[in-house]
Amino acid sequence: MGRIEVYIADHKKLRLSKGLDELMESLTEQEREKILRFKFDADRIRGTAGAIMIRAEAFRSFPGENCVIAASEHGKPYLEGHREFEFNLSHSGDLIVLATNDTPVGVDVEEIKAKDWRIFHRYLTSEEMSMIESSDDQEAAFFKVWTIREAFAKEEGLGLAILDRSFTVDYDSCSISYEGRRLLFSSTGYTSFEGGRYMISVCTSGSIKEINYHDLSPEEWKEILVNIPACF
């Protein structure tokens, strides 16, 4: 199993809003339609930048090839002709996060902020509720639990409808088991990272042996934009 790479872009630091309309023109019609359905400009910026980041990493792995992004019946995106190139995207607040791997991978990022997390009690186990309540930072503890669940749902490609109490999360071994109506059985590994009041969780099939985090710099983003025309 290869390494999981996680790329983190701060849209304010990288000034991703600059040239947004031109960048959108390079996307497929379906991608543009999806992005334009977003109500807020910040969501459109993050959606466009995320699509560009995916293509940049795909082109790096398969130079000289046209990077066509398609979607499964459940809406999980994949790279046509290269199902071994697994990726997943998430964004929240100022951050866009892309995870890549050679086996199915899911990533979720959430801005840690005040939230009435108790309204999610029907999704969480009694052990998780107790763990959150006893934490010195309840918001951070809740978002760790929640991002793990969302990352798992995205890794499986079955959508957020499977976010229920059928999860068994072992917080000591960093592993998840799930048995439900739509998925007979799955066992996966996860890891979580907190930084700058954001929580990021990554899930993949089996255990996670190696994971690398990359904060994209302005210079790296400029290089991506220079190479983007070759990715289409």
- Per residue in 191-232, pLDDT tens? 999 988 999 999 988 778 889 999 999 999 988 888 776 666
Residue 86 lies in a domain: no
Residue 204, strand partner residues: 105, 189
Q: What percent of the chain has pLDDT over 90?
A: 31
What gap in Å lies between CA 90 and CA 40, rounded to an integer? 16
Measured in whole angstroms, how far is the alpha carbon of residue 59 from the centre of its chain? 19
Q: What is the pLDDT of residues 59-81, one digit of tens each?
A: 888 887 777 888 777 677 888 88
Residue 91 lies in a domain: no
Number of domains forming the structure of the chain: 1
What gap in Å lies between CA 69 and CA 223, rounded to an integer? 21
Residue 85 lies in a domain: no
Domain with 178, as residue range(s), is 104-205
Residue 16 lies in a domain: no
Expressed in percent and rounded to 5, the helix, strand and coil fractions of the chain are 35, 30, 35
Residue 198 lies in a domain: yes
Residue 117 lies in a domain: yes
Residue 93 lies in a domain: no
Domain CATH number, residue 133 = 3.90.470.20
Residue 49 lies in a domain: no
Tell me if 112 sits within 8 A of 194, measured CB to CB: yes
